[in-house]
Structure 1
Amino acid sequence: MKPRMNAWMLRIVPLAAAMLLTGCSVPSLSHAPDTAQAAVPERWSQLVDSGDDDVKAPAVQAQWWQAFGDVQLSRWVELALQRNNDVLTAMARVDEARANLDMAGSGAMPQVSLSAPGSANRSLSARTGQMVHVRSAQPVLQASWELDLWNRLGSLSQAAQQRLQASQADNDAVRLTVAATTAQAYIGLRSLQAQLAVAQFTVKSREDAVRLLGDQVRVGYISQLQLSQALAELESVRQSVQQLSLAQERQRIALMQLVGGVGDEQAQALMQRTLDGASSVMPRQLGTQVLDRIELPRMPAAGLPSALLERRPDIARARLQLAASDSNLAAQRAAFLPQVSLSANFGSLLINALDYNPARVWSLGGSILAPLFTGGRLQGQFDAASAQRDQAAYAYRGVVIKAFGDVETALVSTQQLQSQWQHARQRETVLTSTLGFAKDRYEAGYASYLEELDAQRNLFAAQQDVLRLRQSQLENAVALYQALGGGWQPGGEVNPDSKP
């Protein structure tokens, strides 16, 4: 019994001594700074009425863009999610994170390798004076395993797992951003088409008016001043047509880039169908019908502000990155403690005549590596990991603050834009009647053509305002869907101990 006790003491004493020597220098884990805490409001400052007390606001769906009821818009978004470069890059980052997880998990597993060193030499024998040829080979199977007594390797593996989940959430965040950007780009293109159609129709009507005024000037019915004013207004609208045409081309190129570039065949085919669909509408009606194809969806349910923390992929990504930094910090702390490794070698030794009767060789061993003095390297690594954890905590706080601001901005804009659009529509109606009155007064001889020209100018500006405000409403609806997370559902669990 006594020899066994002595053997046990021989094994445990080195480990105990190493722990005593290093234990006093192990730093303690700290929490994230209090200033990194994100304040969550109890309610939204702006509550939007859905328009029907009997109908609840709809929940945000994963394919939220279908709520706009436009087939072309859905096709553009779906093509962007397939071919956009940012989406493809995010998917590659997920693959990289998955490979890093495999590498981190392998550290806790036994490592087995095979080596087969060989040598040949020729030397002079001191005993016989003859040349001696010696050939040897020693195939060896080597195995090693680090005992993860302090969960250092486990913490590294957990950090890699959390980074994988963060990259998956980042992929979802990129997809949501690309979908929203594409939808807004499509809405912008449709709005420019509508504004251009109104401007072109206005040019046509003013060209007809200028021809009529020219005839009246020649017979002395009106003065040259009225014709000059009409020509100036005609050139002004022609300039607007050129500006809108340039803006439409730029918007077309921007939309093409979102789905693969101007050289992408699928994008070109979809753009051709989009432009053909717009040109099939009569110019007089194009200004309203193009945007009327895109429905303004009912306001989605915003829910409580606290629910937003679980509904946005960018918040989940920041939270998972914070959890990963906590796990990495725990691994850096474990590096101060002794590392215990076991090793074994099994092989054969073949030398010349022993080819057919090799000698068996083997070895078993273990080691305890206790860091005693590293010149501040370990402490520096721990401090760097702690600072990285604090950065992740502040990054999480920043994402949360931005998320609440995005929702509040979209909710406020919903009410304000609806009110502005209604006033613009009323102004357009009034100015349409005003133009009719001005025409009647001019044709009856009670007023000059300048009065009708002024009414035309005001109506044209009002029509463009109505279209731009409708565009702003649609784009704000897209922004609200994006701010609410776009129907995203978390796919992984987060370590509750890693919350800031």
Structure 2
Amino acid sequence: MKRARPAPAAALLAAVLIAGCAAKVGPAPQSTLQTPAEWRTRVGPGSDARPVEQQWWQAFGDPALSALVARTLEHNGDLRIARARVADYRARVAAARASQLPSVTGSASPTRTRALAYNGVPYETNLFQAELQASYEIDVWGRLANLTDAARAAYAAEQASADAAALSIAASAASGYLNLRGLDAQLELALATLKLREESRELARKQFEVGYSSRLEWLQAQAEYQAAAEQVPQLQRQIFEQENALSVLSGGNPGPVPRGVPLSGLAPPPVPGGLPSDLLRRRPDIARAEQNLLAASATLSATRDQLLPSFRLTAVGGLQSTVFSEFLKDPTHLWRLTAAVAGPLFEGGRVQAQTDSAASARDQAAYAYENAVRAAFAETDNGLGAIQRLREQAVQNDARRATAAETLRIARNRYRNGYASYLEELDAQRTLYSADVLRLQLKTRMLIASVDLYRALGGGWSR
């Protein structure tokens, strides 16, 4: 008894029913992000006057600094890894896009067979055939397009990640160089102070030898000289380590770093302008978080559509002959054209679980985007606040240093004229030296704070 074949309408109805079984997706999370209208701190009249320059490190006016940053951006090992990852994701986009195109394969197979005839007599046959097969999936539901969109968004996120790495490494190189110039200035101050301590020690020794002062004053001058001498190798060690760190950061071996403008000739560039909303397009890490969100959303759409039926067309054409000469001249032409509809009937909740996982990844990407924006707001506000507070501290330090210098002048005159002991002059020397060291440190910190602000503002990077 022959079985009845299912009618084409029944197959179509089955496909429609399957299409109604698409995986369920929960709603996207509601954003709680609010962009402030302005920064909490306004620094100077130039706050809204100029945008961030693309090569912002040139604003410091030091050719050695600019050369170091350029060398670092070209040879840094982490940036090379980031660029290689960008090339990897670019290839993934090409692979995803290729899945939307037809695929064509070809094959050729000569076959010789020995078999038994119906009467038990063995015989041998030859078969020469060549075949060309083409297949194409009709992207009715947009699943393949969503996968391609996800790959493109992931590629864009990786590009933004490489840009964020370049911005961070450029800032590290600039900050490291400025810190090195600050250490150089501190070493110069320590050497100059050591020379003055040596002169004071010799004066105290001579006055002790002639009986003008006590041995205690001479020993105190000796101790003060030794304390100043102790600072020199400590600063030299810090300079040595900072040079090695910068050399490795710029892709070289540990070694010296060329210097340019001294710390006294460096000045913080004008504070660049911009509103909080500008960060949404000026920071590469925010762009990376945004592209990750787009990639997660596209992946979710593609995962959800796995329950929907797929439509595929297959065409096969070939040549076949039992004689090789006929295969070349007049072979038999064969062909086959197939249209197939396939869809899952039972998969144990696998696709729904994958869809739930993809939805969770989308939600995580959304929250990560909000966190990146809020962190950018905080970093920029902190940078502006740091510059303002460091300026205020520098004003107080200038007043303190002027007072300490005048105190030392009076104490030295009193000691020279015999009205006071050497302890007063030593104490005044310590106070002035402390103010001078802090002055150099504040200058260095203000320069580095400018670098941090440029990095927080996106460093001139723009989509």
What interval of TM-score do these two structures reach, taking the shorter chain for normalisation? over 0.9
Give the Cα–Cα distance (whole angstroms) in 1 for the partners of residues 350 and 408 of structure 2: 82
Deviation at 1:81, TM superposition (A): 0.9
Corresponding position: 1:242 with 2:233: yes
CA contact (8 A) 1:309 1:316 kept: yes
Deviation at 1:124, TM superposition (A): 4.9
CA contact (8 A) 2:72 2:249 kept: yes
CA contact (8 A) 1:22 1:371 kept: no
- The equivalent of 1:412 in structure 2 is 385
CA contact (8 A) 2:103 2:134 kept: yes
Corresponding position: 1:369 with 2:342: yes
Three-state SS of the structure 2 residue aligned to 1:116 is: strand
What's the TM-score once normalised by structure 1's chain length? 0.87
Give the Cα–Cα distance (whole angstroms) in 1 for the partners of residues 399 and 315 of structure 2: 88
- The equivalent of 1:398 in structure 2 is 371
Corresponding position: 1:100 with 2:92: yes
Aligned partner (choices 58, 61, 66) of residue 66 of structure 1? 58
1:377-456, aligned counterparts within 5 Å?
377-456=350-429
Higher mean displacement: 400-409 or 230-239: 230-239
Give the Cα–Cα distance (whole angstroms) in 1 for the partners of residues 451 and 58 of structure 2: 11
Deviation at 1:133, TM superposition (A): 2.8
Deviation at 1:75, TM superposition (A): 1.0
Corresponding position: 1:87 with 2:45: no
> AA paired with 2:29?
P
Aligned pair in 2 of structure 1 residues 27, 56: CA closer, same or farther (>3 Å)? Answer: closer
Give the Cα–Cα distance (whole angstroms) in 2 for the partners of residues 198 and 59 of structure 1: 37
- The equivalent of 1:17 in structure 2 is 14
Three-state SS of the structure 1 residue aligned to 2:28 is: coil
1:36-81 deviation line (CA, Å, top 9, x unaligned): 5323222212122237xxx963211111111111111111111111
CA contact (8 A) 2:243 2:257 kept: no
Corresponding position: 1:211 with 2:199: no
Q: Which runs of 5+ in 1 are unaligned?
A: 1-8, 279-289, 491-500
- The equivalent of 2:271 in structure 1 is 299
- The equivalent of 1:4 in structure 2 is none
* Count of residue pairs brought into register by the alignment: 456
Corresponding position: 1:27 with 2:50: no
Give the Cα–Cα distance (whole angstroms) in 2 for the partners of residues 137 and 211 of structure 1: 108
1:237-316, aligned counterparts within 5 Å?
237-262=228-253, 271-274=256-259, 290-301=262-273, 303-316=274-287
Aligned pair in 2 of structure 1 residues 133, 293: CA closer, same or farther (>3 Å)? Answer: farther
Corresponding position: 1:470 with 2:443: yes
Give the Cα–Cα distance (whole angstroms) in 2 for the partners of residues 209 and 12 of structure 1: 108
- The equivalent of 2:38 in structure 1 is 43
1:189-212 deviation line (CA, Å, top 9, x unaligned): 000010011011111111122122
Give the Cα–Cα distance (whole angstroms) in 2 for the partners of residues 469 and 272 of structure 1: 23
- The equivalent of 2:309 in structure 1 is 338
> AA paired with 1:200?
L
Three-state SS of the structure 1 residue aligned to 2:132 is: strand
What's the TM-score once normalised by structure 2's chain length? 0.94
Give the Cα–Cα distance (whole angstroms) in 2 for the partners of residues 15 and 241 of structure 1: 87
Corresponding position: 1:358 with 2:353: no
CA contact (8 A) 2:246 2:257 kept: no
- The equivalent of 2:3 in structure 1 is none
Deviation at 1:294, TM superposition (A): 1.8
Deviation at 1:12, TM superposition (A): 5.8
Higher mean displacement: 234-243 or 403-412: 234-243
Three-state SS of the structure 2 residue aligned to 1:260 is: coil
Three-state SS of the structure 2 residue aligned to 1:468 is: helix
Deviation at 1:31, TM superposition (A): 3.8
Give the Cα–Cα distance (whole angstroms) in 2 for the partners of residues 164 and 474 of structure 1: 35
- The equivalent of 2:188 in structure 1 is 197
1:63-117 deviation line (CA, Å, top 9, x unaligned): 1111111111111111111111122122111111110000000111011011123
- The equivalent of 1:222 in structure 2 is 213
Three-state SS of the structure 2 residue aligned to 1:203 is: helix
Deviation at 1:258, TM superposition (A): 1.2
Higher mean displacement: 146-155 or 59-68: 59-68
Q: Which runs of 5+ in 2 are unaligned?
A: 1-5
CA contact (8 A) 1:57 1:298 kept: no
- The equivalent of 1:147 in structure 2 is 138
> AA paired with 2:42?
L
Give the Cα–Cα distance (whole angstroms) in 1 for the partners of residues 221 and 27 of structure 2: 73
Give the Cα–Cα distance (whole angstroms) in 2 for the partners of residues 363 and 467 of structure 1: 84
Three-state SS of the structure 1 residue aligned to 2:336 is: strand
Give the Cα–Cα distance (whole angstroms) in 1 for the partners of residues 155 and 347 of structure 2: 32
1:420-469 deviation line (CA, Å, top 9, x unaligned): 01111221122112111111111111111111111111111111000111
CA contact (8 A) 2:41 2:385 kept: yes
Higher mean displacement: 354-363 or 396-405: 354-363
CA contact (8 A) 2:190 2:232 kept: yes
